Amino acid sequence: MKYTVFIFFSSLIWITSCSRILVVFHMPSTSHYILGNALARGLAEAGHDVTMVSPFEEKNPPKNGKYRNVILTGFLDDMDKQDMSVFDMEGMSPFLMLPFLNFYCNELTQNTLEHPNLQKLLKSNEHFDAVVIEQFNNDALKVLAYHFKAPLILFSTIGANSWINPLVGNPSPPSYIPDALLSYRPDMTFHQRLVNWLFTVVSELNRQLLFFPTQNKMMKEHFPDAPDLSILNYNASIVLLNSHESINQAVPLVPNMIDVGGFHVNPPKELPKDLKDYMDGAKEGVVYFSMGSNIKPSMMPKEKKTPY
């Protein structure tokens, strides 16, 4: 009897245990935020104490959980000031994308590390049980897991790719898995395979010789005692992937990489009346065309808007 009571009470403690989780999605991009925020909200609703670091503000945090926002203020304004739009990058060679991504992502990482609101959190002596970070050319941010002495969980918003695979030893043969920056389909021609292989080599050289040293330097500026990035970078406990084998190419995944694609989708709501009437009334059906969350119609060149 004594043991039953003991087991009963100890299981109560287990049931009510809540973890403190830090979620960092620093990209000023709505589609990335939607994923990070769905995860953060879900964890809070499950009873955990969640701190979400992002440029966006959750105006309607879950009521039955602890959800705190640390807002990277100013990031969205900087984004609006950018002269480059996705349309300018459309025809850009993927080889030129590498230096562009180095520059843009280094600046974002630096601004995140220096942000007064993040600095305040770093100095707060708070404790976290897990640190979830979006993996998007921001490797220096992994130092947050080291700083808070918590296991590192990575979230790849574009599935398994060359930025994350080497960090957990996941194979990705260029012979049949196209790089995310090349717009190839899995059934590549011989020429495309050759370019894919060359691109894999060049982009890995770029990471090792240019990108990582810069990230390491900015990390050391803020955390002089931290181990080298070449150690912190290879210490993820779990990698969550925004992909799913039902809609993406079947690729090898090591056991700590988990496909969670689709987890953020909410049950559908009724359409507003005008849209519903329009769709129901369309005799030949309706083609729904979405340009995602990063493209503003105002940025679209005029000749692209004009129908043929």
**Counting contacts by CB under 6 A, is residue 230 touching ligand NAG?**
no
Single out the residue of 126, 193, 192, 135 nearest to residue 166, CA to CA: 135
Single out the residue of 217, 238, 241, 216 nearest to residue 229, CA to CA: 216
**Counting contacts by CB under 6 A, is residue 231 touching ligand NAG?**
yes
Among 237, 248, 256, 294, binds ligand NAG (CB under 6 A): 237
Q: Which helix (H) or strand (E) holds 54?
A: strand 49-54
232/239 with CB nearer ligand NAG: 232
- Number of residues engaging ligand NAG in binding (CB under 6 A): 7
Among 173, 227, 262, 301, binds ligand NAG (CB under 6 A): 227
206/237 with CB nearer ligand NAG: 237
Q: What is the smallest separation between the CB atom of 48 and ligand NAG, expressed in angstroms? A: 17
Query: For residue 165, how many other CB atoms are within 10 A of its CB?
Result: 20
**Counting contacts by CB under 6 A, is residue 151 touching ligand NAG?**
yes
Furthest-apart CA atoms within the chain: distance in Å: 82
- For 47, residues 6+ apart whose C-beta sits below 8 A from its C-beta are 16, 18, 65
Residue 304, SS3 per DSSP: helix
* Residue 278 to residue 273: CA distance in whole angstroms: 8
**Counting contacts by CB under 6 A, is residue 256 touching ligand NAG?**
no
35/236 with CB nearer ligand NAG: 236
Task: State how far the alpha carbon of 103 is from the alpha carbons of 49, 107, 187, in Å.
Answer: 34, 6, 32
Residue 98, SS3 per DSSP: helix
* Residue 183 to residue 28: CA distance in whole angstroms: 24
50/232 with CB nearer ligand NAG: 232
**Which single residue brings its beta carbon nearest to ligand NAG?**
151
**Counting contacts by CB under 6 A, is residue 252 touching ligand NAG?**
no
**Counting contacts by CB under 6 A, is residue 235 touching ligand NAG?**
yes
By CB under 6 A, which span of 38-46, 121-129, 182-190, 228-236 interacts with ligand NAG?
228-236
23/251 with CB nearer ligand NAG: 23
- Interface positions with ligand NAG (CB under 6 A): 146, 151, 227, 231-232, 235, 237
